[in-house]
Structure 1
Amino acid sequence: MPEGDSVHRAAARLHAALAGKPLTRSDLRVPRFATADLTGRTTLDVTPRGKHVLARFEGGLTLHSHLRMDGAWHVFAPGEKWRGGPSYEIRAILGTADRTAVGYRLPVLELIRTAEEDRVVGHLGPDLLGPDWDAARAAANLLADPERPLGEALLDQRNLAGIGNVYKSELCFLAQVTPWTPVGALPESVLPRVAAAAQRLLAANIGDRSSTRNTTGSRHPGHDLFVYGRARRPCLRCGTPVRQAPQDDRPTYWCPQCQTGPTP
């Protein structure tokens, strides 16, 4: 599932391509909204909210999408070949005079009233990359269920919005605890530091135009992430082989030397 930084960059690309321009083409390829036509409406803005994308149009309409595991938005210039996948995977086409935005494999795509956006994103916690970011509130949300493992709490978008499986593993490594550690067992200072680190890492990766997410600060090839995706490879800090196990049906990585706490 895309992390919040990836969704933020996708929304920024859509905003640059569509905002302030009237649509010359509109095609929503989902049964419920197949007859909806946005042609002629001007795009007001495209805003990310956690892992959701909200494209707002004049007349009080919002196109809400969520990428989930493998959805994607691509932007193409006139005459450019569309390269996001086969045509049968296209779920939305939004075109202007000079750009076309194409949504592929979008598992969530719905047209709603802008005034009703809270219905689809109102449950989210503070957005790590949004104007509502509040580290103290995020830390309090994480602690609301003291028995819950830290890894699961970080992935719960109701606590803080934007963290995916990559950042989950990396943040637990930086906190030096395993993802299975109950949040209530952590020292008082840990959760505020985890929340602050999450915001710092996502914000840093927004500005990085390379295709590789980086949490280590190293530009050495293969040293972009501390533990995620490094099963059986040496920990970048201590050299101990990184381990992997599922948590909530997602692959989870940790260093048995650098991180303390319960494991499967």
Structure 2
Amino acid sequence: MPEGDSIWRAATRLHAALAGRELLRSDLRVPRLATVDLTGRTTLDVASRGKHLLTRIEGGLTLHSHLRMDGAWHVFAAREKWHGGPAHEIRAILGTADHTAVGYRLPVLELLRTCDEERVVGHLGPDLLGPDWDPGKAAANLLASPERPLGEALVDQRNLAGLGNIYKAELCFMAQVTPWTPVGALPESTVPRLAAAAQRLLAANKDRPRNTTGIRRPGQDLFVYGRARRPCLRCGTPIREAPQDDRPAYWCPRCQSGPAPSAPPSS
């Protein structure tokens, strides 16, 4: 699933292509929006809120989309050939004189009044890349359920908006604890530092290929995510993988202390 930095980049691309320009083409290919025609209206703004995209359109309307696992928005020049998947996967087309934004495989696409945006994003915690970012509030949200495993708390968008499975794994590694460590078991100063580190990472990566290690060599841009059975970049111990909340979790059994699933028996 795209994380907050990826969604921020998508919003930036869409804003540059659409904002301030009249829509000359509008095609929303979901049943409840099939009769909606936005042509003639001007796109005012495209913004990200955590993992949500909000395309604000003249007349007090907002087109809300969420990419989840497979969705994507692509922007093409006026006569550029579209490439993002087969035509039957297209869910939205917004075109101006110069650019066309095409949404593929969008699992969430709805049109609402701009004044009602809180209905779809009001439950979110502070946005790591938004003007509402508040590290104190984010830390307080995480600490509100001290018995909860840290990995689960980090990806709960009600605590802080924008983190996904990649940053969960990387932040737990940086905190030197496993994703199953209860939030309340962490030292008092760790959670605020972790929230601040999350914001720094997303802010640093929003304009570049994602990197959490500071190492520029190929295959060493992440500490643990996606590195199961490969050596830890710090100690050389093989990275382990196990499911957590229906998603894979990664950790180094030497660098990270705390509870973890038992290692599978060797074959």
Aligned twin of 1:132: 132
Is 1:26 aligned to residue 26 of structure 2?
Answer: yes
Residue 221 of structure 2: which of 218, 221, 224 is its match? 224
Instruction: Give runs of aligned pairs for residues 156-175 of structure 1, distance below 5 A.
Output: 156-175=156-175
Aligned twin of 1:233: 230
Aligned twin of 2:255: 258
Deviation (angstroms), 1:11: 0.5
Secondary structure in structure 2 of the residue aligned to 1:207: coil
Instruction: Give runs of aligned pairs for residues 124-203 of structure 1, distance below 5 A.
Output: 124-203=124-203
One-letter amino acid of the structure 2 residue matched with residue 92 of structure 1:
A
Give deviations 1:150-196, integer Å, cap 9, x for gaps.
00000100000000000000000000000000001111101011101
Give deviations 1:140-159, integer Å, cap 9, x for gaps.
00011111000000010000
Q: Distance in 1 between matches of 2:66 and 2:24?
A: 24
Deviation (angstroms), 1:120: 0.2
Contact 2:9 2:207 in 1 (8 A): no
Aligned twin of 1:78: 78
Is 1:94 aligned to residue 90 of structure 2?
Answer: no
Give deviations 1:58-89, integer Å, cap 9, x for gaps.
10000000000010000001211100100000
Q: Distance in 2 between matches of 1:44 and 1:78?
A: 20
One-letter amino acid of the structure 1 residue matched with residue 45 of structure 2:
D
Secondary structure in structure 2 of the residue aligned to 1:259: coil
One-letter amino acid of the structure 2 residue matched with residue 7 of structure 1:
I
Aligned twin of 2:206: 206
Q: Distance in 1 between matches of 2:215 and 2:154?
A: 24
Deviation (angstroms), 1:207: 1.9
Give deviations 1:88-123, integer Å, cap 9, x for gaps.
000000000000000000000000000000000000
What is the root-mean-square deviation of aligned Cα atoms in Å?
0.5
One-letter amino acid of the structure 2 residue matched with residue 258 of structure 1:
C
Q: Distance in 1 between matches of 2:40 and 2:56?
A: 13
Deviation (angstroms), 1:221: 1.2
Q: Distance in 1 between matches of 2:113 and 2:78?
A: 30
Aligned twin of 1:35: 35
Aligned twin of 2:51: 51
The percent of aligned pairs where both chains have the same amino acid is 82
Aligned twin of 1:246: 243
Aligned twin of 1:10: 10
Scaled by the length of structure 2, what TM-score is found? 0.97
Q: Distance in 2 between matches of 1:194 and 1:245?
A: 22
Q: Distance in 2 between matches of 1:90 and 1:11?
A: 18
Q: Distance in 2 between matches of 1:96 and 1:79?
A: 12
Q: Distance in 2 between matches of 1:178 and 1:237?
A: 16
Structure 1 stretches of at least 4 aligned residues deviating more than 2 Å after TM superposition: none
Gaps of 5+ in 2: 262-267
Is 1:215 aligned to residue 242 of structure 2?
Answer: no
Contact 2:77 2:98 in 1 (8 A): yes
Q: Distance in 2 between matches of 1:171 and 1:234?
A: 18
Q: Distance in 2 between matches of 1:239 and 1:151?
A: 23
Q: Distance in 1 between matches of 2:207 and 2:91?
A: 29
Secondary structure in structure 2 of the residue aligned to 1:129: coil
Give deviations 1:27-84, integer Å, cap 9, x for gaps.
0000001100100100000000000000001100000000000100000012111001
